[in-house]
C-alpha cells in the first residue's frame, strides 16, 4: 500500500486511479438461459463466462444472450442432445445446426485453448473445424477431454445443472431430440 500512496503523491489523482484499477482482473459476466420443453418450463441455467481468459468469445456469447446486436439466442432451440455427452444449441437462423452467426460476422477465429473440458457444465463453442466459431455452443454433461484443443471453452454452469440433466433426458444417442427444447428468455445478470 505504501508504494501506491507514494505513486499517488507524485501523479494526478486520475492517473493514480487508472493505475490502481487497471491492474485488477476483469469481473467475469454471468448470463442466464430460461429453458422449456414442449412449452413446459424446465428452469433457469446460470453461466459464468470466463472473460479473463477468452474475452472475445465471452463477449460474443454475452451479447447473444442480451440481444444487443439485434439478434441472439432468445427463441432458439437446443437442436442436438446426446445423453452422456452434451446439449447443443445457438443456431438462431436455421434452428437445425446449420446456421447461426457471431457478433463479429458469420464466424470468428479460435481465441485460445487454455481452458479444458474438465467436467459436466463446461460451456464450449461448437464449430465445423478450426476458426469457424459462430453462435452455436454446447454444454457438456460429462468430462470430454478429447475435445481439448478443438473447441474453445469459455464458461461454466454455476446454477441449473438439474435443468441441463432434464434437457439431456430428452436426447437420443444419434443427437435427436424427443421434445422441442427452447431458450424462452436469456440475458446478463448484473
Q: Which of 60, 151, 154, 156 is catalytic?
A: 151
Q: Which of 32, 61, 85, 137 is catalytic?
A: 85
Annotated catalytic residue 151: yes
> For residues 176 and 162, what is the distance between their CA atoms, to the nearest angstrom?
20
Annotated catalytic residue 44: no
Q: Are 97 and 78 in contact (CB under 8 A)?
A: no
Q: Which of 33, 49, 79, 88 is catalytic?
A: 88
Q: Which of 42, 133, 147, 170 is catalytic?
A: 147
114: phi then psi, degrees, rounded to nearest 5: -65, -40
DSSP per-residue letters across 38-107: TTEEEEEEEEEE-TTT-HHHHHHHHHHHHTTTS--STT-BEEEEETTTEEEE--TTTSSSS---BTTBS-
Annotated catalytic residue 127: yes
Q: Which of 62, 79, 80, 117 is catalytic?
A: 80
Annotated catalytic residue 28: no
- Look at residue 36 and give its three-state secondary structure: strand
Q: Which of 138, 154, 156, 170 is catalytic?
A: 138
Strand partners, 123: 139, 155
Annotated catalytic residue 173: no
List, by residue number, the catalytic residues.
80, 85, 88, 127, 138, 147, 151
Amino acid at each position: 500500500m505504501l508504494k501506491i500512496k507514494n505513486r499517488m503523491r507524485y501523479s494526478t489523482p486520475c492517473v493514480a486511479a487508472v493505475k490502481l484499477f487497471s491492474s485488477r482482473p476483469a469481473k467475469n459476466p454471468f448470463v442466464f438461459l430460461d429453458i422449456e420443453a414442449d412449452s413446459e418450463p424446465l428452469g433457469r441455467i446460470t453461466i459464468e463466462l470466463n472473460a479473463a481468459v477468452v474475452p472475445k468469445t465471452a463477449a460474443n456469447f454475452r451479447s447473444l444472450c442480451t440481444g444487443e446486436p439485434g439478434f441472439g439466442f432468445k427463441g432458439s432451440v437446443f437442436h442436438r442432445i446426446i445423453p452422456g455427452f452434451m446439449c447443443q444449441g445457438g443456431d438462431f437462423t436455421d434452428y437445425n445446426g446449420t446456421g447461426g452467426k457471431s457478433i463479429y460476422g458469420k464466424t470468428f477465429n479460435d481465441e485460445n485453448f487454455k481452458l479444458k473440458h474438465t467436467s459436466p457444465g463446461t460451456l464450449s463453442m461448437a464449430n465445423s473445424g478450426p476458426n469457424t466459431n459462430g453462435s452455436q455452443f454446447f454444454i457438456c454433461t460429462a468430462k470430454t477431454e478429447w475435445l481439448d484443443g478443438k473447441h474453445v471453452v469459455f464458461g461454466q454452469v454455476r446454477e441449473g445443472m438439474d435443468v441441463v440433466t432434464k434437457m439431456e433426458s430428452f436426447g437420443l444417442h444419434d443427437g435427436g431430440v424427443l421434445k422441442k427444447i427452447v431458450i424462452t428468455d436469456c440475458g446478463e445478470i448484473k
